[in-house]
Structure 1
Amino acid sequence: MRKAVLLNAPIARAVALMGHTDTLCIGDAGLPIPAGPERIDLAVTQGLPAFLDVLEATTGELFVERVTVAEELRDTQPALYEQIRNLLAALQDLQGNTIAIDHVPHETFKVQTARSRAVVRTGDVTPYANIILHSGVTFG
């Protein structure tokens, strides 16, 4: 059994296959998933698993260089947005880098998910609880 925090095999596999600038999307239960990326469906019931729990476990494995979120998340879900910023701040300290946050319209965000290596669907039903993680490198 792996010693790492992330026990979900499909997510761990997707992270292991990522190179610099590859992306992984974590989304709420309603985010449309395009045909291209691998679909990793974790949704069990409304709210389970929660978006933040999946994000925290995934960033325990992935070196994050930057993230993309919808402007609507920042504008309509300020408490969740602040929780994400706090998680990223702690991750920056752990990784020793600065993690940029890109804000795009939700429609643009949905288009960008098509370039992700995988899209992880959570059971979260909070509107705009979606993020694209951009992989960095642990050296240099």
Structure 2
Amino acid sequence: MRKADLLNAPIARVVSLMGHTDSLCIGDAGLPVPDGVERIDLAVSTGLPGFLDVLPAVLGELFVERAAIAQELSDGQPAFHAKLLRQLRNLEQAQGNSITVTTVPHEEFKRLTRSSKAVIRTGEFTPYANILLYSGVPF
């Protein structure tokens, strides 16, 4: 049995297979998953599990170099956006690197998910609560 905190086997598998600059998406309940991209569906019911509950488990396993979020999240959900950025800043300190966070229009974000290794679907019902995490290397 793994000693790590992340217990979800499909997520652990995808993270283990990722290379430098590969992306992994964590999305809300409504984010469409493009054909051909693996869907890891964690959604149980409205709000369960929440995006901000799933994110730290993934961040504990993945060395993140950069991230992308939808502009609409920062515009329409400022409190949620602040919590998300706080988690990324904490990760920077833990990893000892700077994480570039870019914002793109939501339609562009959805296009970017086409090249993700997987989309993790949460039960989050906060509009635009989605992130693309790009893997880096810890050396």
TM bucket (normalised to shorter chain) is over 0.9
SS at match of 1:49: coil
- Work out whether 1:54 is the aligned partner of 2:54: yes
Aligned AA (2:129): A
The equivalent of 2:11 in structure 1 is 11
Report the RMSD for the aligned CA atoms in angstroms.
0.5
The 1-side partners of 2:9 and 2:84 are apart by 24
Q: Deviations over 1:70-109 (max 9, x none)?
A: 0000100101110011101110000000001010000000
For structure 2, which runs of at least 5 residues remain unmatched after alignment?
none
Aligned AA (1:127): P
- Work out whether 1:112 is the aligned partner of 2:112: yes
The 2-side partners of 1:37 and 1:137 are apart by 23
SS at match of 2:119: strand
The equivalent of 1:23 in structure 2 is 23
The equivalent of 2:67 in structure 1 is 67
Q: Deviations over 1:111-134 (max 9, x none)?
A: 100100000000001000000000
Q: Deviations over 1:47-69 (max 9, x none)?
A: 00000111110000000000000
Shift of 1:29: 0.2
- Work out whether 1:138 is the aligned partner of 2:131: no
The equivalent of 2:128 in structure 1 is 128
SS at match of 1:103: strand
TM-score when scaled to structure 2?
0.99
The 2-side partners of 1:99 and 1:87 are apart by 11
SS at match of 1:129: coil
- Work out whether 1:88 is the aligned partner of 2:88: yes
TM-score when scaled to structure 1?
0.98
